[in-house]
Structure formats: C-alpha cells, structure tokens
Amino acid sequence: MSQPPNRTATQGRTDAAAPRTAAVAPEGLEKLPVQKSLGWKPDGPLTSQELHGQTITLSECTAVTGATLWQQQGYLSAARNSAGQQLFAFSDAQSAKSAYGRLVADMNTCQATSRGFQEREGVPQDAVVTTTATTADGTAWSRKWTGTGGMSARGLQTNHLYAVQQGDRITLFQFDELEERPSPPHDTTGDTAVLGTLAELGRQN
C-alpha cells in the first residue's frame, strides 16, 4: 500500500549467498492473474538483505518485525504505477505467524490510521480500507484515499496489499493505482485468486 521501499537504503547481497526465491522472482509475477491487464515490468534487480532486528515499514499502517531475511523485487506497470513483491523469512514458523498476526491487526485499524495522517496533513479525511479477500493463509486489502506523501504518493489513489504466511515465511505483494497515472482499474473480486497464486509461488521454494 505504498511505494516500494527505497532501494538505496535496502540494497543487499544478490550473490549465491542470498539465493533467488520463486516468491519474489520476476517470472513469478507472470503467474499473477492481474499481470495481463496492468503490464508490470521489473524495476531494477532483486535485492536481498539479512535482518538483525530491523523493522521494515510497509506503509503508514504497518511494518514487519522479527524477520531474518528480506528479499524484494520492484516493478512498474504500463502506466508507471509501482508494485513490489517481498519475501520475509523468519527463524521459525511461530515467529512468522506472530508477525503476520500483527500485520493483520494493523491493517484492521488502517482506515483510522490513514485518516489521522490526512488530518495532520490537512487533506480530506476520505481513506476507506477494505478487506478484499481472505484464505486459509492469506489476506488482501485495498485502501482508497487522498495520499499524504511520504510512504505513499500524494493525491487520489488506491493501494493494494496481499499477504500470505506459510511456515517460516511471509510473502507480500503491493501495488498502487494513482489517479494521475490512469490504467485499467483492478477488479478486487479476483483477489482470492491473487492470494492463491502467491501461496503457490511460496510453496515452490
């Protein structure tokens, strides 16, 4: 639900010691049901970073803590809207489950959090956050709002976040739809299928 994290700050190892994983490889994106209509292309290389207690902020609403490895691949759509696949590896399944639980709890209050940012920035308090799909191991959300800058762009937009927890990993996919960069609108009725594809990519690791 935000622009992909700053690569300058997060560039990590991309050698054999930090292997590619199917959950964040560009070829995995081709399997997502929404790829055909939005036409994403890789934006820079896969980045990989070992974590030692750092918190990785995903948006104004939520962050991931406790992971030992973070991998991400950025994309741009045909309309030059940003997207990103991320994978967080944890020391064990319980740590991943706890992190996923915190993410879900944060997103359940994201509408109020977003409107708080809007109030402070003096923009219309119009944020609406919707849970668009749930599966046994994943959840998808959309946030339609007037962005405040910072983590998110300014202006009218819809942000999408998908999260899947499997064993000791969490796989995420985020993308934006900015009003100033129009593209075919995303149909959230397909979000269950997106979660299913992300889960399948995760099982390939």
Whether residue 11 lies inside any domain: the answer is no
Token pair for residue 69?
Answer: 């490895």
107-119 pLDDT per residue, tens: 999 999 999 999 9
| pLDDT of 157 higher than 60 | yes
Backbone torsion region of residue 167, taken as left when φ is above 0, otherwise alpha when ψ lies between -120 and 50, otherwise beta: left
Whether residue 168 lies inside any domain: the answer is yes
User: Does residue 174 sit in helix, strand or coil?
Assistant: strand
% of residues, the chain, pLDDT over 90 = 59
pLDDT of residue 23: 74
Whether residue 30 lies inside any domain: the answer is yes
| pLDDT of 25 higher than 70 | yes
Average pLDDT estimate for 65-87? 91
Whether residue 6 lies inside any domain: the answer is no
Higher pLDDT, residue 19 or 75: 75
pLDDT of residue 36: 67
Whether residue 9 lies inside any domain: the answer is no
Domain with residue 198: its CATH number is 3.40.1000
Whether residue 91 lies inside any domain: the answer is yes
Top mean-pLDDT range of 18-22, 45-49, 126-130: 126-130
Other C-beta atoms lying within 10 Å of the C-beta of residue 8: 6
User: How many domains does one find in the chain?
Assistant: 1
The torsion defined by the Cα of 188, 110, 115 and 78, in degrees rounded to 10, comes to -40
Domain of residue 135, residue span: 21-203
Q: CA-based Rg of the chain, rounded to a whole angstrom?
A: 16
Whether residue 191 lies inside any domain: the answer is yes
Regarding pTM above 0.85, the answer is yes
